[in-house]
Chains A and B, each alone.
Chain A
Amino acid sequence: MLKQVEGSIAVAEAIALCRPDLVCAYPITPQTHIVEGLADMVRKGKIKSNCQYINVESEFAALSVCIGSSATGVRSYTATSSQGLLYMAEAVYNASGMRLPIVMTIGNRAIGGPINIWNDQSDSMALRDAGWIQIHAETNQEAGDLHIQAFKIAEQLSIPVMVCVDGFLLTHAYEQVEASTQEQVDEFLPPFKPMQALDCDDPMSIGAMVGPEAFMEVRALNVAHFDNALEPIQEISEEFEKIFGRKAGGLFEHYHSEEADTVVVSLGSVNGTVKDIIDEYRKEFVSIGSFKIGCYRPFPGKQILEQLKHAKRIIVVEKDYFAGVGGCLANDMKIAFRGSDAKIYSVIGGLGGRPIFKKSLMKILDRAMEDELEELSFIDLDRTLVEREQVREDQFMSNAG
């Protein structure tokens, strides 16, 4: 059934169909409507299990509650963004270290300081190494669908999953979605069978202290399981298509990039804008396509290299920018394409919610196709202002000294 709904509600309704036993989250813009929607559904008995909804005092508590409930063997869900994700960071590593299959929505939002409530992907990027699978949604349809896949991925692999949904651009956007049915979800997602759980009939200690004699092996094992997740993630997306009759998720998606000379690589909703750009170029017979990465962690570097080995130039467009590493996705791509002849361009845009305009991005792509683009460039950055401020601040510092 088609519906016109806010992205957050599409996500909440998909999660409800997954029969979670526990929902626990702390409010933070732009994730609020998701958990509000779920709170309402739990009270109205719309979630068909004995679902517990807990209000907590912080994000750290929210994920901790999920750790407790997941370790007791029930399907557990939370959601957060930005500052909230950082506040629970300790628990994020703890959950993956203990192989607890928790699903968490990240309503992608910039990390402060300075404080900023708008969309970019610096939050999920900041915790890309925490051992959680990270998958990104391009549309509200995909945002809902990926949560259904996420529970299956998490429980099959005993690895927690972050579903990344661009704040405001998806969470607060009204779009058409095809709602899933309970029958479809029940067919796709079996009841949760935990790898281990607290059990009075079989008491065990979960969360022991591991010293130098065993820690390396435990870490190596954890990472090995993580790296092996790529194949099941792809398979689960294909299973989803069979049952639900539509594509969602998977490791990547081509859009006219199977043979294109120039390929624009991105994560999340910006790929929609890029697709419109590709269509405009293709009217003029330009050899260009877009390649969306669906699963960011583990990073399917080998698979991407295989898919794009024909490309002359790869333009990585991303909404994060960190001191010391630049764009995280560009970094991953450069590592994956080591030895290849393709030129990799890092394009940073959309930070702190600055819109990515088609026209602005096309100017950059034009320069790339003329081989006149810098290795690192920005969409609509006021360089003059930055440089002027740099000079001013340098003067201030030297005067102070």
Chain B
Amino acid sequence: MSTELKPDFCQTGNLTAGNRLQSIDVVSVQSTEDRANALTSGHRACQGCGEALGARMAIDKVMELSKNKVHVVNATGCLEVFTTPFPETSWNVPWLHSLFGNAPAVATGVQAALKAKGMEDVTVIAQGGDGSTVDIGFGCLSGMFERNDDVLYICYDNEAYMNTGVQRSGATPPTARTATTPLSGPHPGNNFGQGKNVPKIAMAHGIAYVATATIANVRDLEAKVAKAMSMKGARYLHIHVPCPLGWGSLPKDTIKLARLAVESGLYPLFEGEHGEITGVTKIRKKVPVDEYLKLQRRFVHLFKKGADTEDLAGVQAIADAHIKYYGLLDDGEK
């Protein structure tokens, strides 16, 4: 291969999802005409819903790789509610919803049935929001991991119980305002020192593949789906999906917020296999957490006059800790 630098004439730059000047193997499924549209239009999501985007991106990639042979098990939550208002559905795939806390177990059952039928070429996806994954369905999730069932679990993390009115979950970040961590009392917003890191817990189960992804980086998300699909056994994908309603942000800022979360270090992108981290996505251009937080009214109290500056500093410290732990910046950068 030539070591000459190739001139970069791409008008819109590498970041564009639909950049056809790129080589075919990095073109995203989302930019192609024959994408499955597993989650098609007509659903009832809010304007700017990050979860609707994340689900479509993920499942369309699964459909491409599995040659349209998928069974999806969905937990109760926003995604289930806004996609299947009886008698309509916006799913183009075989789709099953049972309860809030049992999607991983139901998926185990679906997969076992396929095995019994000799149809193991069908991919089984279990998916849910952070509420069902991190809290109420956690026991079932751990059970599915422990048994190493051949299921790819996807968590769409918008950091609270959105469908029921924005209540705090085990994934809600410190200082965030939710309906059950309101801005009242001496410590407004969600507490420091709490919360569950399910990607790390998934790693601790030693499963074949764990990754975090974001809707701000379609190719990275699709590549991680592809990586997961190349393996068997229990696999876990955690996708960050901003929620304009719950976060108090503008619908047009959804993807921008997703990117800022990564670039601030608050939402690290990494991959792991059998408990070891195998790759991270470096931060391209680090930003202070303020730039991310300021666009969301759930953090508005951090910037009010008289706000406790320790809170903001605490959030920045979390971002800095991530950067250090995962090595998100190149040496010499700060």
Contacts and interface: CB of A to CB of B under 8 A. Distances in A.
Contacts of B285: none
Instruction: Give me the 6 closest cross-chain CB pairs, A-B, nearest first.
Output: A68-B109, A207-B97, A72-B113, A57-B143, A64-B105, A64-B102
A205 B91 contact: yes
Nearest to A213: B86
Contacts of B101: 60, 90
Given A61-B102, A94-B99, A49 B116 contact: yes
Given A51-B116, A57-B143, A208 B109 contact: no
Contact of A68 (B87, B95, B98): B98
B187 to A, nearest CB: 34
Interface of A: 21-22, 24, 49-52, 54-58, 60-62, 64-74, 76, 90-91, 94, 98, 198-200, 203-211, 214
Interface of B: 68-71, 73-74, 80-81, 83-87, 89, 91-99, 101-102, 105-118, 122, 139-140, 142-143, 146-147
Contact of A21 (B80, B92, B99, B116): B116
B85 A209 contact: yes
A98 B70 CA distance: 21
Nearest to B95: A205
Given A54-B112, A64-B105, A71 B96 contact: yes
A199 B147 CA distance: 25
A69 B113 contact: yes
Contacts of A52: 112-113, 115-116
A21 B111 CA distance: 12
18 contacts: A22-B116, A60-B101, A64-B108, A65-B108, A68-B98, A72-B113, A74-B116, A198-B71, A200-B68, A200-B122, A203-B93, A205-B91, A206-B95, A207-B84, A208-B97, A211-B86, A214-B86, A214-B87
Contact of A67 (B81, B91, B109, B147): B109
Contact of A208 (B85, B99, B106, B115): B85
Given A55-B147, A207-B84, A64 B140 contact: yes
Contacts of B109: 22, 24, 54, 64-72, 76
A205 B89 contact: yes
A64 B99 contact: yes
A206 B80 CA distance: 11
A200 B74 CA distance: 16
A102 to B, nearest CB: 10
Contacts of A65: 105-106, 108-109, 112
A72 B105 CA distance: 13
A114 B84 CA distance: 42
